[in-house]
Amino acid sequence: MIGILILNYKKYQVTADCIRSVLDTGDGLDYHIYVLDNGSGNDSIACLQAQFPNNPRITWMESAENTGYARGNNQMLSRARKDGCTAAVITNSDIVFLPDTLQQLAADIAEGHPIVGPRLQYPNGQRQNSVKLWTETYLRNLVPKAKLQALRRQPAAPGEVYWLSGAVFAVDTAVFHRLGDFDPYTFLYYEEYILSARCKAQNIALWFDPTVTALHCHGASAGGAANLFTRLENLRSELYFLHRYRHWSRHRLATVRRVRCLEVLFTFGKAHKWADARTYLRKSKILLKKERTNET
């Protein structure tokens, strides 16, 4: 059996569209849907249950607080394994599955690819950059956008990639458990980079299958560029990843923090959010100090 894991936070109608797409396209697949409401505080589960009453294919789960992407999905993975799921599709709530996508992901897992992602596109048909073939650094921002898009071209045939989008991918639950599941330190960002680093350390290939597609209503559950909370969480996860998985020095981490501060001053300044900008400068310094004093 394959578990379909959907993390809901506040926007339950988006989650309902995702659930409906699974039910509409899952013919012939032995699957079960797990929906975890991650501390929305807005009766999301009740509203969702009203749309899918007494559906035996769905298990509803609730968390009293928002534990973030990693810990929320780990909770569902634990339940899915307990229920006998040998594979799982980990999906954002803003994903809509197209016909044959779930079946092919399950087939890829069965063929020995323990972590596999589909092609992603926006609802307007434009493709999304959902894979990376090599490590990208911050210097990518110095490359002209047209050239960067060419460098990021997606493989036309199934094959191994360096990085997969965390928006939706399938896993062999036993292999993923041996990897340690998601790193529970992260809340909202850098889960894909950490997964890539862990897979490389254990010689596990990340597989991309462009023969099937999922629609990604990108950003439906995010806050925007001038959002203080998401900016701080992004920095916290970035410093953690670079320190723990890339073993960057204190000086290099400090440089990352300075660059992020300049970005925030520019972005928040345009939005006239100067109080938030000052808060970011202060709290980012605390995050840097906390990460640099932790053992590698």
222 pLDDT higher than 90: no
Confidence of residue 140 (pLDDT cuts 50, 70, 90): low
Q: What is the pLDDT of residues 48-69, one digit of tens each?
A: 999 999 999 999 999 999 999 9
Confidence of residue 151 (pLDDT cuts 50, 70, 90): low
Q: How much is the pTM?
A: 0.90
Range 80-106 average pLDDT: 97
Q: What are phi and psi of 92, to 5 degrees?
A: -65, 160
Q: Which residue has the tokens 């990376």?
A: 132
N-term to C-term CA, the chain: 38
DSSP state of 141: G
Please report, as a single letter, which amino acid is at residue 138. Y
143 pLDDT higher than 70: no
Quick one: which of 38, 68, 48, 97 has its CA closest to 216? 97
CA 165 from centroid of its chain's CA atoms: 6
Q: What are phi and psi of 191, to 5 degrees?
A: -60, -40
Quick one: which of 204, 207, 202 has its CA closest to 169? 207
The pLDDT assigned to 296 comes to 46
270 pLDDT higher than 80: yes
Beta-strand relationship, 31-38 and 58-63: parallel
Quick one: which of 205, 199, 200, 207 has its CA closest to 179? 199
**What percent of the chain has a predicted confidence (pLDDT) above 90?**
83
Give me the chain's average pLDDT, please: 91
Euclidean distance between CA atoms 91 and 18, whole angstroms: 9
| Residues 23, 173, 167, 70, CA torsion sign | positive
Confidence of residue 292 (pLDDT cuts 50, 70, 90): confident
Q: What is the pLDDT of residues 31-46, one digit of tens each?
A: 999 999 999 999 999 9
The pLDDT assigned to 13 comes to 95
The pLDDT assigned to 85 comes to 98
Q: What is the pLDDT of residues 236-258, one digit of tens each?
A: 999 999 999 999 999 999 999 99
